[in-house]
Amino acid sequence: MTPHAPARWDGGMSASVPPVLTASGLVKQYGELRALDDVSLTIRAGESVAVMGASGSGKTTLLHVLAAIIAPDSGSVLLSAPGAQPRELVGLDEGARATIRRTALGFVFQEHLLLPELTAVENAALPLLLQGQGRQDAERHAAAWLATLGLAGLEQRRIGQLSGGQAQRVAIARAQVTGAPVVFADEPTGALDSATSSDVLGALLDATTGQGRTLVMVTHDAEVARRCSRIVRLRDGRIVDDSAAASVSPGAAAATTATTAATGTSGATEAVR
């Protein structure tokens, strides 16, 4: 397969596993730069997908298009959430895209983007509050997620009173509280030291694929990518490789998650929905 031959990729995962995101013919142009050049791929339920590539390869643009943060110039993105009719994301106005992001998707960023004036539990509960849930119920649910992620007893601390790894776990809790079937992560461990990065990644995998959800993550870190079940590589706005990670197949990834849960490495070992 040459880099210039358009193709639909699915990472070799069985077609019996339902897709959650189906992208077709995505094109995004910024002036003379074509950030996405006829990109098509299918992401299936329960996958952990690492998107890699050099700076300027289009990986962050792809994540933002799949997550309905920006609209492509052309192409299609179909979101197939469990229990809901498939929804075309391209062509929606900003209000409709914001609703999708708030109700069906979760987000974890490198600089966690938490509100420093709020406590950990208030930050984690924010998506539920924005959906209209009562404060007491929202914070109870958020506190359960914080406990699952190893932050029991830290609920009332403000973000500046937490370590970088603890703050990123609050961001993971925030991404999970709505039960979003797809979580997007943009360099979620990029600002952390190697030991903390490993712990946070374990927590993120346990909280997503460990509970049947899907994780789509942009990363520069090959070690981070190898812990995902699938690696997608971009170059010049095109997918040039898409395969199961050499060291972790989808089945092995599930086994790794189970082992992590059993040993308590990340603390994210049980569903809280």
pLDDT tens per residue, range 10-60:
545 555 778 999 999 999 999 999 999 999 999 999 999 999 999 999 999
pLDDT band, very low/low/confident/very high, at 272 (cuts 50, 70, 90): very low
Global pTM reads: 0.81
Number of residues written out for the chain: 273
Domains recognised in the chain with CATH numbers? 8-263 (3.40.50.300)
Q: Please tell me what DSSP assigns to residue 119.
A: B
For residue 8, what pLDDT is reported? 41
In DSSP terms, 24 is beta-bridged to 76
C-alpha 69/C-alpha 98 separation (Å) is 8
**Residue in 126, 190, 124 with CA at minimum distance from that of residue 162:** 124
Residue found under tokens 């490789």: 241
DSSP-derived 3-state class of residue 27:
strand
For residue 269, what pLDDT is reported? 28
C-alpha 80/C-alpha 205 separation (Å) is 21
| Amino acid sitting at position 262 | A
Strand order in the sheet with 8-9: 8-9, 33-44, 19-30, 74-79, 87-88
* Percent of the chain at pLDDT exceeding 70: 84
Please state which of the ranges 18-22, 228-232, 269-273 shows the lowest mean pLDDT: 269-273
Per the CB < 8 A criterion, the answer to whether 148 and 269 are in contact is: yes
Tokens of 218: 């942009």
The radius of gyration of the chain from alpha carbons, rounded to an integer in Å, stands at: 18
pLDDT band, very low/low/confident/very high, at 86 (cuts 50, 70, 90): very high
For residue 253, what pLDDT is reported? 41
Per the CB < 8 A criterion, the answer to whether 216 and 185 are in contact is: yes
CA end-to-end span of the chain: 43
For residue 14, what pLDDT is reported? 54
Per the CB < 8 A criterion, the answer to whether 28 and 203 are in contact is: no
62: left (phi over 0), alpha (psi -120 to 50) or beta: alpha
Average pLDDT, the chain: 84
Q: Read off the pLDDT of residues 54-85 as tens digits, 9 standing for 90 and up.
A: 999 999 999 999 999 999 999 999 999 777 78
For residue 13, what pLDDT is reported? 52
In DSSP terms, 48 is beta-bridged to 215
pLDDT band, very low/low/confident/very high, at 244 (cuts 50, 70, 90): low
For residue 2, what pLDDT is reported? 32
For residue 202, what pLDDT is reported? 92
Per the CB < 8 A criterion, the answer to whether 115 and 123 are in contact is: yes
Q: Read off the pLDDT of residues 154-178 as tens digits, 9 standing for 90 and up.
A: 999 999 999 999 999 999 999 999 9
pLDDT band, very low/low/confident/very high, at 192 (cuts 50, 70, 90): confident
